[in-house]
Structure 1
Amino acid sequence: MQAEQPQPYRFSVRHFIQLAKPYWVSEDKQKGWALLLTVLAMNLAIVWVNVRLNYWNNDFYNSLQARKFEVFKHLLFVFTGYAFLYIVLAVYSQYFLQMLQIRWRRWVTEVFLKDWLVGGAHYRMSLRQGNTDNPDQRIADDIRLFVNDSLSLFFGFISSVVTLLSFLMILWTLSGAISLLGVSIPGYMVWVALAYAGFGSYFAHKVGKPLIKLNFNQQRYEADFRFGLARTREHNEGIALYRGEAREIEGHTNRFAYVWSNWWGIMKRQKLFTWYSSFYGQMAIIFPILVAAPRYFAGQIQLGGLTQTASAFGQVQGALSWFIDAYGRIVDWRATQERLYTFVQSVEAVRHVPVTELLDGTEPADAAPDAAVAADPGGIDLGDLRIATPDGRALLQAAGERIAPGQHTLFVGPSGLGKSTLVRWLAGIWPYAQGTHYRLASGRSLFLPQKPYLPMGTLRQALTYPLPPEQFDDARLREVLELARIPALAAVLDQTDTWMQRLSPGEQQRLAIARALLAAPDWLFLDEATSALDGPTEAAMYALLQQQLPGTTLVSVAHRAGVVRFHKQILVVQPGDDGAPARLVQHTAQQAEARAAAESGDWALAGV
């Protein structure tokens, strides 16, 4: 609940253009513009039908007053034609509008997904202070609402403007003049309609303005509550083992309290706005009759003229009152737009930040933004690399260490000194680092974290991730599962399940080893990737990797001494003195084994 709260009431046309323009100049622009113009033409045609019905209204009621049955029958036939045309236009304008909505939404969704996921932007966003809350909700819900409401409001506004212009002259002609304090005012009903709608819109905005921020917050609180429930579902086993149900209930209740309290604020303000809008709407029904009635009773217009005048007044007043009728949607639209804009800002902030930039804004001297990813065929040179925490505190300082191709390297040492963070930097996803001479290795790399990620879908998709399943035949998949000592999974390759909950931690880690056998990278980084395995199985997995992947260099982070013999270089992470960053100290495998044996064989307990 600590994420930023942008001010949704600060609406900016520039924000809207930045969000909307890319689609209308994209590769799908021709179909988009064709659908937009088609729907616009249909909406204008509907306005034309309403204009014709207004004139028909005059003739129809005059025929009733004059008891002209033949004219009455003819006008019923004319009405049938107008009604049929109106229905066709209404049906297909809605159909093509929905077609445009889904095309626009699909394009924007694909762009947002790429911007969020490509280059690890999603991970960097999670590291920033005041990180953007609930990106899943912004992509899944806010894009849909933004697209739908933008089009709905656009067509509603255009229709209102055209309706206003079309009926304004009709109302001017029908309303005649009125004498007020000796002054003749021509087209008096036009001025009455303008005043009625103008005051109505002003007070509607005053009454409804607080709803903008309330709706903005409601979207966020609902998303927070939904996200918390999803996390409980994903981690139900851990919660059950900890007997943490009471804490979960407390957390969900606290998050729902925000939903509850903010909803009450919406209810109270919405009640006040409904009182106003309902009174305004009911008055609009009878108000034009009351205004035009004096001319009717004076014999200046017939019954048809009265109904036509009332209808034209209603159309003008309705067009001028579009703001009132659409106010609720405008409120939601502005909140949604601001949520999407802040999301775009967050993505842009992390995508254009050099990988070597610290959170406090300092940049490494003499280092180009892409220095950390420059190719070095000789391996990995850490140089004077300094790893930092997101708050800018120096965590780990390198001093010219090097990992040559084929030189399997193990990072060991107490927890919390930056070993896993160094692996994240090697993966290119940790941006908080400084240095001028460090280089990453060239070639294909694969990183195995302590808790493997298994995507939704079939086991085949989870096994081959991130490569496409079609790249491997069944025989190869069964072979790697057999080598990784999980042959039973070969029978469920095409079964869909929540595999991160279905498989034990040990099975998940062995599945990741099988995944590495399929990928056969040049560099394989293992961040405690075998911590859930017993000692013999862990040793067997390392032996398997070296046997099956002779051209792969292993770079490991581990706590148990049993993996030492599978590495040629041991880099021990030692705490710095007096708050200084931790440093790397090189050991031979023999020194490391002897040291680990003397310290219970567990580097996590060793004060090396």
Structure 2
Amino acid sequence: MDRLNFNVVQQFWTIAKSYWSGDEKWQARGLLLGVVLLLLAYTGLSVVLNNKRGVLISALSAKDESRFWETVIIFIAVLVIYAPLLAGYTYLRDRLSLQWRKWLTHRFVDSYFRDRSYYNLHISGTEIDNPDQRISEDVRSFTQESLTFLLRLVESVLSTIAFSSVLWGISKPLVLFLVLYALIGTLVTTVVFGKPLVRLNFEQLKKEANLRFGLVRIRENAEAIAFYQGEERESNQVKQRFFDVFENVKRLLVWELNLNVLTNAYEFIPFILPALVVAPAIFAGEMEVGKVSEAQGAFVRVFFSLNVVVARFQQLSTFGAGINRLYTFAEFLERTESNQEQPKIQTVEAERLAVEHLSLQTPNYKRTLVEDLSLELAAGQGLLVMGPSGCGKSSLLRAIAGLWDSGTGTIIRPESNQILFLPQRPYMVLGTLRDQLLYPNTHLEVDDEHLKQVLEQVNLAGLEERFGGFDAQEDWADVLSLGEQQRLTFARLLLNKPNYAILDEATSALDLDNEERLYQHLQAKGTTFLSVGHRATLANYHQSLLELSQDKTWQIKQPVTLVEEQPELLELPSTT
């Protein structure tokens, strides 16, 4: 998007129409009707106040005391009504904006998590950056700015109609000149400043988001950076991202300077022109002096109503850039499945776990990882998947979990709520220690005594006492070591009691004793499990072994066979 054009209007309506015609349409339309009615009322009162201001000056000029005080009383009475009307209008407008933002945020969040769109966005290689900013900042800007501008247009139309009648009664040429003047200003501003300002504002949103994202990554990976002593590199990268922001803002400021020079000169004329037009009639005694103030007030209101594009052009260019970012994001989330011509792995739900003639490819279909794999995991048994790095071990787990469907063949698996996945790097949720243990089913009712027993089973006895109880809140990814996090995720498994478990290097940070203890608990529960790992000691806890190769081939062995053939694998690699 590099210019302000009708595509922006189409994109805007694509995003907006669902709210105004959806399940909350009557509440939305009711609030909008209330806003418009208040707008009508206070616009009418504005005309009255403008007229009485002119009458006040005329009364003072004529030294008509009774007329002066009568006008003062009317002015104050109208003002008493006008002030709360204007405040009520602002409140209802902002409340409608807030309701709209809530609805639109929920819609984007639902779409973001539906069918794992957040994950598909991560692996798709799309140019859609910083979805967090689009959901938070761009949605907020969209609802606030669109309502503000829409109501500003309505107000402009009402003000133009109301105050033009006042001007028409004072000077007809003044009205004609005003319309022509506003149209020329709008045309010049749009043609000259439209393309560069919209492009620069679009880039500004992107570069600011990149800077914020870089700073967040440093916070999340502080320990790793410290271990590598990567401060200089990270500092330079942050400075470079800020330099990009800085340079773009410099270019933006130059264009804004030129725009401000034009608009400041352009908007000065209305303050002097009415006096020039009505001066001859006043000097001739054909018109009261107060008509100058009345004409000037009406002229300014009509001018700024017609001049809405010029006056708010900078905000409109930023708003247009935000609409495009939000539209492309919504388009991605709601897009029908791409690569329809490409083959897809079929998933069948059943009370067993098996794959039939599975050929697995990467999501972009550029590489085949496994060819024609068929196997079935017996209930209550364990399958160990091993092989060199890059042969597709973790990719196979992604396919079984339903994250990847690129390829051919069939995966037969139970419902998702019967499977629990334990990754090498556990996911620590935001919340209490109780939330960590029960995730993803944090609604489960489990008493503290049982939670303590489970912590003892995974060799984390007394963990709750270290942090002040199960309701303590911490940054768990920071305060727990990787080994403690892995044991905690095994506690999740023992508490959630799934029928199936998938473990991807889930004990890589543990010593052999802890690894043995955890797998023994898993076997005692009768859980059917599939593990990916490199340690040969894992063979002790599995009944079968799937060995993958770099050349896409595979073979199923008895675990003991691998130990006998490669006893050196019993030695653990050194870890920190």
Unaligned runs of 5+ in 1: 1-5, 176-186, 577-581
Structure 2 vs 1, CA of residues 534 and 16 (structure 1 numbering), >3 Å: closer, same or farther?
Answer: same
Q: Percent identity?
A: 32
* 1:201 paired to 2:186: yes
Q: Deviations along 1:424-459, whole A, 9 cap, x unmatched? A: 11111124x211444334461111111010111222
Picking from 263, 288, 292, the partner of 2:274 is: 288
Q: Residue deviations 1:260-305, cap 9 Å, x none? A: 1111111111111111111122222112222332332233322122
The 5 A counterparts of 1:153-192 are 153-175=149-171, 187-192=172-177
In 1: Cα distance, 2:228 partner to 2:356 partner: 41
> Residue 591 in 1 paired to residue 561 in 2?
yes
Which residue in the other structure is 2:298 paired with? 312
Aligned to 1:180: none
Secondary structure, aligned partner of 1:401: strand
Alpha-carbon distance in 2 for matches of 1:601, 1:404:
30
1:39: Cα distance to partner? 1.2
Paired with 1:200 and 1:113, the residues of 2 have a C-alpha distance of 41
Amino acid paired to 2:450: R
**1:145 maps to what in 2?**
141
Q: 2:363, 2:311 → 1: CA distance? A: 51
Give the alignment partner of residue 475 of structure 2, picking from 486, 492, 498: 498
Q: For structure 1, which segment, 488-497 or 421-430, has the greater mean C-alpha deviation from structure 2 after superposition?
A: 488-497
Runs of 4+ in 1 over 4 A off after TM superposition: 598-604
Q: Deviations 1:317-365 (Å, cap 9, x if unpaired)?
A: 121111112212211211111111011112123xx327xx5xxx6422x
Where 2:530 maps in the other structure, the secondary structure is strand
Is the 8 Å Cα contact of residues 292 and 310 (structure 1) preserved in structure 2?
Answer: no
Answer yes or no: is the 8 Å Cα contact 2:2–2:198 preserved in 1: no
CA contact (8 A) 1:481 1:514 kept: yes
Counterpart AA for 1:116: Y
**Residues 345, 9 of structure 1: alpha-carbon distance in 2 compared, 3 angstrom cutoff:** same
- For residues 154-303 of structure 1, the aligned pairs below 5 Å read 154-175=150-171, 187-209=172-194, 210-303=196-289
Task: Please tell me the root mean square deviation across aligned C-alpha atoms, in Å.
Answer: 2.0
Distance, in Å, in 2 between the alignment partners of 1:9 and 1:573 is 54
Aligned position for 1:571: 546
Contact conserved, 1:208 with 1:273, CA < 8 A, in 2? Answer: yes
Deviates more, 1:274-283 or 1:512-521: 274-283
Corresponding residue to 1:382 among 348, 356, 369: 356
Which of 64, 81, 91 is 2:77 aligned to? Answer: 81
Residue identity in the other structure for 1:591: T
Count of equivalent residues: 568
Asked if 1:554 corresponds to 2:554, the answer is no
**Matched position secondary structure for 1:559:** coil
1:44-102 per-position Cα deviation (integer Å, ceiling 9, x unaligned): 11110111123323432222222110110010001101212221111111112221121
Does structure 2 retain, via aligned residues, the 8 Å contact 1:54–1:308? yes
The equivalent residue for 1:333 is 319
Instruction: Provide the C-alpha distance between the structure 1 equivalents of 2:193 and 2:40, rounded to a whole number of angstroms.
Output: 30
What is the letter of the counterpart of residue 457 of structure 1?
G
Is the contact made by 1:413 and 1:603 (CA closer than 8 Å) also made in structure 2? no
Mapped pair 1:460 → 2:434: yes
Moved more, 335-344 or 287-296: 287-296
Q: Which residue of 1 aligns with 2:413?
A: 440
Q: Secondary structure at the residue paired with 1:457?
A: coil
Alpha-carbon distance between aligned partners in 2 of 1:140 and 1:167, rounded to the nearest angstrom: 40
Question: Which residue of 2 is the match for residue 404 of structure 1?
Answer: 378
For the residues of structure 2 that align with 1:131 and 1:403, how far apart are their CA atoms?
40
Confirm or deny: 8 A CA contact 1:446 1:523 kept in the other structure.
yes
Structure 2-normalised TM-score?
A: 0.94
Contact 2:274–2:292 (CA<8 Å) still a contact in 1? no
Return closer, same or farther for 1:448/1:442 CA change in 2, 3 Å cut-off. same
1:166 alignment partner AA:
A
CA distance in 1, matches of 2:123, 2:103: 28
DSSP 3-state at the match of 1:340: helix
Find the aligned partners of 1:309 and 1:122 in 2 and give their Cα distance: 58
